[in-house]
Amino acid sequence: MTLEHPLTARYLGKLSDALSALDPAERHEVVEEIRHHIADATAAGRPLEGVLEALGPVDQLARAYKVELLLNPKDPRERRSWRWLRIVGLIALGSVPTFVICVVLGSIGLSFSLSGIAVFVAGVAAYTGDLPYWVEMDAPPWVALVLGPPLTLLGLLALVGLVAYVRFVARLVRQVLPRPREAAV
């Protein structure tokens, strides 16, 4: 029995941790495949550091294997419905619902924020008597002063919600799909 180089052991340990979402048998198979790849490359005379660098960062390699196993499972009969459900869910999440949510939250955010500021400014101008002659207010100035800040706050909350949703979707997509650089791994 030969001892494994500490760099190899650390790399494979991190890879195993990054693949913790996989079935234990699949995770073991992937780790063993990379272990054999490293052993073959170093036996052929390539330096260990170069082999590990060519494999790339552990998280990217793990993500590439997750996608590969999702799209091309070792046993195609195993969990086929679950695999397709995940793929369809990812596509659905990134299509119509995301479009609708982004348009609605973006529209509400911009329109409420801007109109809340405009209403507040109009209330201040009406209260001080500086409202232009072509602007008519059917409500007393205090109503505009009271409604302006909540409208602006609702708009800002919608924009914060939009940013949070986009980050959420981006995180989900990053977990499933590899980055363009990783496709070659």
DSSP for residue 183: G
Specify which of 53-67, 113-127, 160-174 reaches the highest per-range mean pLDDT.
113-127
Q: What is the mean pLDDT of the chain?
A: 82
Look at residue 60 in the predicted model and tell me its pLDDT.
86
Rounded Cα distance, 87 and 93, in Å? 10
The structure tokens 């995940």 sit at 86
Rounded Cα distance, 176 and 66, in Å? 7
Look at residue 150 in the predicted model and tell me its pLDDT.
96
Look at residue 115 in the predicted model and tell me its pLDDT.
95
Look at residue 89 in the predicted model and tell me its pLDDT.
67
Percent of the chain with pLDDT over 70: 78
Question: Residue 24's CB: how many other CB atoms inside 10 A?
Answer: 10
Look at residue 179 in the predicted model and tell me its pLDDT.
47
Percent of the chain with pLDDT over 90: 26
Q: Please state the domain extents for the chain.
A: 6-78, 96-176
Q: What share of the chain is helix, strand, coil (3-state, %, to 5)?
A: 75, 0, 25
